[in-house]
Every structure is written in structure tokens, then in C-alpha cells.
Amino acid sequence: MKARLKKSLAKFLAVGLVSSSFLTTQVRADEGMWLFNSVPKAKLKSSYNFEPTQEWLDHLMLSSVRFNSGGSASFVSSQGLVLTNHHVASDTLYKISTAEHNYNENGFLAATQSDEIKTPDLELNQLISIEDVTGKINGAIQENMTSQEASKARQAKMAEIEKESLDKTGLRSDVVTLYGGGRYHLYRYKKYTDVRLVWAPEAGSAFFGGDADNFEYPRYCLDVTLFRVYENGKPAKIDHFLKMEPNGAKEQDLVFVSGNPGRTRRILTHDAVEYQRDVAMPRTMNLLRRKEVMMQQYALAGPEQQRRSRDDLFGIQNSRKAYTGMLGGLQDPLFTASKKRDEADLLSRISQDSKLAPLKKAWDQIREAQTKRREWLTKQASLRSKIYGIAETLVLMASEDSKASGDRLREFRASNRESLEQELFSEAPTYEDLERVHLADELSRLAEDRGGNDPLVLAALAGKSPRQRAAELVAQTKLMDVAERKKLAAAGTQGIADSKDPLILLAKTMESEYRKAHEAADSIEEQERQAYAKITEAKFAVGGDSVYPDATFTLRLAYGKVLGYETDGKKVPAQTTLGGAFEHETLHLNKDPWVLPKSWQAAKGKMKADTPFNFVCTADIIGGNSGSPVVSRDGAMVGIIFDGNIESLTADFYYTDNVSRAVAVHIAGVLESLRTIYNAPKLAEEMGK
């Protein structure tokens, strides 16, 4: 789940999207984002003559890490070193940077452990255990319940299970919906909240080639960053961490990816796919284009504005390009035709069984739900701004805290409180000029969606233009001050009732409409959840239950082989080299964004130019897998996922291994860069020990 207050636009792209799960009766080649408690051992044995032991799986699971801000990582030393992507770390690099010290652009290296920089609000999660709680969740639902009643009962039971688990174990406890409601698993995590930056390369190294090369291949990116987790003020002692395979992976090698893919929608019925293709995704694309232009214009104001906007702009551009690929896949008539054909085949097969035939109604339920989604699409009552999000959270939290945990909106449940407050009271900087830009655009968008005469719009604008109103709100609010937020939170409902802060007043004005939209969304999702549970039952009956669910930003295992491919009549190699980065720079005439940092130029003569740098494999990945470790049969690290090629962008909806590839940084390139480019041999030596 994406954090409620995360500034990145990515958290808002789920509007109108079902958070459900997929299974298919015809898993292709290396397809699959497999649960760690349901790994296809027989398939691995037959395809690759490899069968992982439980010890192998447990070690890899415990060595894997989730960044709660979005992304994956792994423990790579007994002293708490954590390896992830630079672009996963960029949210934190942005927060700890200043006008004088731009760690995102210029990089960072801690000379000693005492120089490692503490992050303001980063939470890392290590998955400890998985428990099936399907029976407990489904036991809370009665047949005569409406969708709204069932949704509330289900959420109450989930909150109860999570709270009991937290109280018993002290571990973060999340009930995860799988197979669209066909299964529910309880995931328990150890949390690390004292996280410190150890090393980051320059953005020019991590994102060499910029937006032009993004989702392309061959690539030459050192998209990696090292953090360290601490406990009781000292580096944490880690029992499960990945050993290094210094030679990394080579073509045809079997490799495994352990990470937290964010969301796939492969379960969607044909009607739901058409809704995405014709309504939801075009709307998302328009939103992304709008935000991209807005942030580009803000960045033109000066170098400091450029620094402040870089993280947002990167996320927007990355999402825009990804959604372009997804939408292109949905607009392919061959895909929609195959979806309809497979659906018709399944319906025909279950029609022949009197016990399964009633399940056919599920497809009608999904069709009805898409109609409801259309009705509510433009009736949202929230503003996508960091500072407004803080106000909205404070208003909702005061009200929700007066209820039993199981009756609250899900993000305010007792078991999630610590994580919520860590973000709400983050010391990360908030910039008034940037907040004005975001808030003005959101007020304008609200007026466009609901109409200028809509009562909520009139109340939100208070007789002013969006720009004037945003300037007034940002100038007068006290919520930039963390102490003020804590004071309001501590005062509860009375504090919110007495507050004269203009953003609090605005959030209170919008609260009732927000709750209506939220309740409608919950009801629609419950209708879909019940329908997809029936579809899951049908697919299990036809194809067995050894299939994988859709991605849910929880730990999964994917696998494949290191393999080049052919596109447009040209063969694309499986690997690139460090020396190839200089050739790529020359090919593009040393023009931005194809300019290697000075550190690279200085080290050119002493680095091993033939060291593998980036590589591709057929593992099934999606957004959220960024930072995932790539390991060998022996469980040793051979690389770190950072991207997919342009052909892989349809993976949200379907997988193919023809030319679709996951892109990784080769571990040999990481180690050689640390030693020769960044003068950090001690870090290279520590990794794997």
C-alpha cells in the first residue's frame, strides 16, 4: 500500500482502478509473481532442473526489504547495509538535500559511520511470516449484507486481526487481499525506522540518458544507493543478508528476483479492461501531462526551483511513459480479442457444471461496477497537495480516533498508527512556492471536474481564483510547522473544531463529500471483490490452485534467464559494460542527458572497461520491483532490478517473454564502481559479509 502522505503523484494514479488479483490457467514460460508460500517448485524443476529448498526460500525472504515509500531492496551485510535503487532513494535524497547540499544531483559518501545521514521519515519492512486468514475474514460476511455492510464488516475483521497480531508479536501486521478476495493473508514485518544514507552516486550516473533512455535498452545506469539500518543507535545486526557473486550473471543463467511488485491487473474481465482503456487510463494520461507541464514551468523559475521539483518531475515523467506503454497494450485489438476469447472459453466450461454455473453472475457484477465507476469518476473530493494532505489527515484522524479501530477508515486503524504518524510528523522540508503551485492546480482541476457552480467548488474557492485562493491558504496556514501538527493531533476533535487554520477549515468543508466518495469507492470495490472471488473460484476449479495472484506491493518471487533479444531486425545484447557508457556518451555527442559525471571521467583510465554494467532477463516484474535483488541458483546477489524495457510496459495487464525484459544493474559493475570511481573500497569489501 502506498503511504497516505507520500508526495509522489504515483499514489494518486489508482483513482478508478481496481486493486484486485489475477490468476490464469495458462501460465506462460517464465511468467509469474509468486507468493513465497506458494512457489512453483515442480515447474522450476521441469524448466530449469532447479528446486529451491525451504531454507533457500526463507533466507531470501528474510534478506529482502520493502521501502514503505515505494520500492524494494535487500540486506547486503551483517552490519545493516541495504542496497536499493537511486530512484527509489530519490524521495529521501530530496528530503535531506538543501540548496547548499544537493545529494540527489551530486551524490554522497559517508567517510565513516558517524557521517551517515539519518533520514526523516523512511520506514523499511522485512517480511517475517505469512499466515492464511481467509476463513476468519470470510466468516465476518453474511449473505444478506449489502456491499456497503459487507465492506465495513470485512474491514473491521481485518483491523481486528491486525491489532491482535501487533499486540501479540510487536510486528507490523497487514492483512493482504489476494486473488481479488479469493484469499486473505496476514503479513508480519519487522520495521526499521532509524535508516541512514551511506552512499549515493550522482544523478548523472544513476539516470544516465535521462528521460530519453528511460524504459529503453541497452542502458548504462548506476541506479543504486546504499543505506544502513540502525537499532538502539547502533548498526543493526543482520542474520540474513545476501552474499555477493562478484562475477555476477552471464547470458542463459537462471536468476531469481525477490521484490515487492506494486500492482498488476491481470484478473480484470473484458468489461473492466475496456473501462481502463476507454475511461480511466486516458484520464490518468491527461492528468500526468498536466502535472508534467506544471512542474516544468515551476522549474524554469530558477536553480532552486529546479532542485525542488526534480523528484516530482521524475516521478511524473516516469509514470507518463509507463502509462503510455500500458495504454498502448490495451489498445491492441489482439489483446482485447484474446481477453474476450479466454473469458468466453471459461464461461463455457463452467456452464457445463451445475455447481459452477451460478458463478457466471460474477461477470455481470463486474460490468455493473464499471458503470458505477464512471458515475463517480469526477466526484472526488480531495486535493493532491502535500500540505492539503496533512490538513485532511488531521481532520479525518480526529474523527476516526473517536471510533473503535475496526470501524475506522482503513489507513487510520490502530495497527497502522505508528507508520501514519511517522509520515504526518516528518521533518522533511515543505516549500511554500511549490505548495502554492500544486494547490492552485488542484483547485483548478476540482472546478473543471465538478463544474464552477458546484457547491463544493464555490466553498473551496471562497470567491477567489484558484491561484489567489492557493496563495492565501499557503500564506496563512501553520501546518508547515511540525510542532503545530503535533499540537492539533494531540487536541483531537476539540482541537480541530476550534482551529482557525484555513487549510483545516477547507478540509472540514470538504470532509463530508470526501466521505461520500470514499464510501462509494468502498462499496464498488466490495462488489468487485465478491465478484472476483467467484471468478477466482471458477478458475481454480478449471485450472487448479497452483497459480499466482496479482501484485499487491508484497514480497513475491519471479524468475527467468539472462537473455538478449531482437527488435526492429537488430539483436540486442544481454549485457552492457562500464566502458560502453563512454561510447554511449560519445554517440550522443556528450550532450545532456548523456554526460557522465566528473568522477567517471577521472576514473576512466583505471576502471576495468569490460566489467558488466547492466543486463536483461525474462523475469516477470512491474513497478515496485525497483531495487529488487537478482540472485543466482546459489542465492548470491548477481544484480539489482531498476527498470523494464519499453516492450515490458504491458506487464500491468499481461506478460510476454518474446522481447519483454527486466533491466538490472550488474553486481560486478556496482563493486567496480565503488572501488574505482567512488573511492569506497571499504563499502565494496563490506558487501556480502
| Span 463-521, pLDDT tens digits | 999 999 999 999 999 999 999 999 999 999 999 999 999 999 999 999 999 999 999 99
Q: What is the pLDDT of residue 338?
A: 92
The verdict on 472 and 433 lying in the same domain is yes
What proportion of the chain, given as a percentage, has pLDDT over 70? 96
Q: How many residues does the chain have?
A: 689
The verdict on 451 and 600 lying in the same domain is no
pLDDT class of 8 with cuts at 50, 70, 90: very low
The verdict on 38 and 79 lying in the same domain is yes
Range of the domain at 320: 270-543
548-589 pLDDT per residue, tens: 999 999 999 999 999 999 998 999 999 999 999 999 999 999
The verdict on 480 and 600 lying in the same domain is no
The verdict on 580 and 612 lying in the same domain is yes
Please check whether residue 20 is in contact with residue 267, taking contact to mean a CB–CB distance below 8 angstroms.
yes
The CA dihedral of 378, 382, 387, 391, to the nearest 10 degrees, is 170
Q: Which residues contact 569 (CB under 8 A, 6 or more apart)?
A: none
Residue 651 per-residue DSSP state:
G
Out of 528, 543, 558, a domain closes at 543
Q: What is the pLDDT of residue 28?
A: 60
More confident residue, 3 or 457: 457
Q: What is the pLDDT of residue 67?
A: 97
* Residues 83-107, mean pLDDT to the nearest whole number: 96
Grid coordinates representing 370 are 464499471
Q: Could you tell me if residue 674 is inside a domain? A: yes
Strand, helix or coil for residue 347: helix
Q: Could you tell me if residue 42 is inside a domain? A: yes
* Residues 67-74, mean pLDDT to the nearest whole number: 96
- Measured CA to CA in angstroms, residue 154 lies from 175, 365, 408, 416, 528 at distances of 11, 19, 12, 17, 14
* Residues 434-446, mean pLDDT to the nearest whole number: 98
Q: What is the pLDDT of residue 27?
A: 52
What proportion of the chain, given as a percentage, has pLDDT over 90? 92
The verdict on 229 and 314 lying in the same domain is no
Strand, helix or coil for residue 614: strand
The verdict on 530 and 601 lying in the same domain is no
Q: What is the pLDDT of residue 279?
A: 97
* Residues 41-57, mean pLDDT to the nearest whole number: 96
Q: Could you tell me if residue 680 is inside a domain? A: yes
Q: What is the pLDDT of residue 11?
A: 36
Q: Could you tell me if residue 572 is inside a domain? A: yes
Beta bridge partners of 126: 190
pLDDT for 14 beyond 80: no
More confident residue, 4 or 533: 533
Grid coordinates representing 307 are 532542485
Distance of alpha carbon 339 from the chain centroid: 26
pLDDT for 7 beyond 60: no
The verdict on 110 and 35 lying in the same domain is yes
Strand, helix or coil for residue 576: strand
The verdict on 673 and 611 lying in the same domain is yes
Grid coordinates representing 608 are 576495468
Grid coordinates representing 633 are 541458483
Longest CA span, the chain = 74
Q: Could you tell me if residue 405 is inside a domain? A: yes
For the full predicted model, state whether its pTM sits above 0.85.
yes
Out of 543, 562, 591, a domain closes at 543
Number of domains in the chain: 2
Please check whether residue 24 is in contact with residue 543, taking contact to mean a CB–CB distance below 8 angstroms.
yes
The verdict on 275 and 307 lying in the same domain is yes
235-268 pLDDT per residue, tens: 999 999 999 999 999 999 999 999 999 999 999 9
Q: What is the pLDDT of residue 3?
A: 32
The verdict on 69 and 116 lying in the same domain is yes
Strand, helix or coil for residue 464: coil
Which of 336-345, 388-397, 608-617 has the lowest average pLDDT? 336-345
362-402 pLDDT per residue, tens: 999 999 999 999 999 999 899 999 999 999 999 999 999 99
Average of per-residue pLDDT values in the chain: 94
The verdict on 109 and 202 lying in the same domain is yes
